[in-house]
Amino acid sequence: MSERIDDLDITVATRTTRRSALLGLGALALGGLGTLGQGQGTAARNDNDTNGAQADASAATPTTETIPQTGYAPVNGLQMYYEIHGSGEPLVLLHGAFGAIDLWGPILTSLAENHQVIAVEQQGHGHTADIDRPFSYEQMADDVAALMDHLAIAQADIVGYSMGADTALQVAIRHPERVRKLVPISGKYRYDGEYPELLATIQQLTPDFFAGTPWEDAYLRHAPNPEDFPLLVEKIKAFFGKEYAWPEEDIRSITAPTLLIIGDSDAVRPEHEMQLFRLLGGGVDGDSAGLPNSQLAILPGTTHGTIVFEGAEQVVAMIEVFLAAPMPDAA
């Protein structure tokens, strides 16, 4: 989610400590394919009102205006909210825990200058109402693939942050044909990929911890049931409290060229990201063995919470270079 909440005392938090924790959580909060099908549609944005919001995105004409296309897609029992910004090759953008589309800020607007960005709000986040099922990366990945089906998108680049990065990895594992290139920002494939201090701190979170923050504000403005924010906090605590380790053979099965991005002071441990990089074919002597399809970028002086905020310009620049490079089989 966001920057490491190291040494955080939830019960007696100073303003500085709380801000650092929220940056970390916010990062967790922020957290595309082929060409959009003919005859996609739009639905007018109407916060806290799902009447008419179920409008299918398949009835309107694509536009390059700054006002995004919006819609709700029937996806695995959800009415999943999405926005389409810009034009070009499709790119799916996946936020982190407690996130919403409008919290992406300059990353979304910058990517939309060169891509058709399909920004998603996952189960229980933003405009997408929660349903009676637990959170899981596998289910969220299946939801993304189903949304792509709904929008008639055959294949896209996928960029995810924190929870969205882990979801992006699962999309590449479970639906490899849908992913052209993959960019997990602060992602992991094991529960212990993050520092234990953060994991312990998350279990102490309460709704009051978010009072007055952009993440609470986004939820209260967008959620169909704003009073359910305490339920979201508890559900995410349960989600992040589950230990898991995805099989290494699943990671090795990812064929999409992958750019891993973390901060040097990220919540994700650098040694874990290096393990992930090696499983994706990286960590070799490129001069003798040739460059692998995976790349690893570690931003200096950057935390989990700042990487998509203060680091937005660097992150977008790296993503653009990576996505513009020829595919390995077309080089």
Domain assignment of residue 2, yes or no = no
Q: Mapping DSSP to helix (H, G, I), strand (E, B) and coil, where does residue 47 land? A: coil
Tell me the one-letter amino acid at 27: A
Q: Which of 83, 87, 44 is nearest to 62 (CA)?
A: 87
State the helix-helix crossing angle for 229-240 and 214-222, rounded to 10 degrees. 120
Here the tokens at position 306 are: 């700042």
d(CA 76, CA 127): 16
Residue 331 lies in a domain: no
Q: How crowded is the C-beta side of 41, counted as CA atoms within 13 Å?
A: 13
Q: List C-alpha distances in Å: 291 to 228, 295, 315.
A: 48, 9, 21
Q: Which of 149, 138, 158 is nearest to 80 (CA)?
A: 149
Q: Is residue 224 part of a domain?
A: yes
Inter-CA distances, 160 with 108, 193, 196, 259, Å: 12, 16, 22, 11
Residues spanned by the domain of 274:
15-325
**CB neighbours of residue 213 within 10 Å:** 17
The closest alpha carbon to 179, from 269, 257, 288, 67, belongs to 257
70 closest CA partner among 93, 54, 48, 49: 54
- How far lies 68's CA from each of 58, 64, 112, 157, 252, in Å? 14, 8, 10, 19, 36
Contacts of 215 (CB under 8 A, 6+ apart): 22, 25, 26, 29, 98, 99, 100, 103
The model's pTM is 0.82
Write the CATH number for 210. Answer: 3.40.50.1820
Query: Looking at the domain assignment, is residue 37 inside a domain?
Result: yes
Question: How much is the pLDDT for 40?
Answer: 33
User: How crowded is residue 7: how many other Cβ atoms within 10 Å of its Cβ?
Assistant: 10
Looking at the domain assignment, is residue 51 inside a domain?
yes
| Tens-place pLDDT, residues 272-313 | 999 999 999 999 999 999 999 999 999 999 999 999 989 999
Supply the pLDDT for residue 162: 96
The pLDDT, as a whole number, for residue 39 is 30
Residue 20 neighbours by CB distance under 10 Å: 22
Kindly give the parts of the chain with pLDDT less than 70.
1-65, 330-331
- 1: in domain: no
Helix 137-150 crosses helix 163-174 at what angle (to 10 degrees)?
70
- pLDDT of res. 34: 25
Q: Tell me whether strands 294-303 and 258-265 are parallel, antiparallel or unpaired.
A: parallel
Q: Could you give the number of structural domains in the chain?
A: 1
DSSP letters, 95-164, are: --TT--GGGSTHHHHHHTTTEEEEEEE-TTSTTS---SS---HHHHHHHHHHHHHHTT---EEEEEETHH
Q: Which amino acid is at 257?
A: P
In a domain, 229, yes or no: yes
225 part of a folded domain? yes
CA distances from 188 to 165, 221, 262 (A): 8, 30, 10
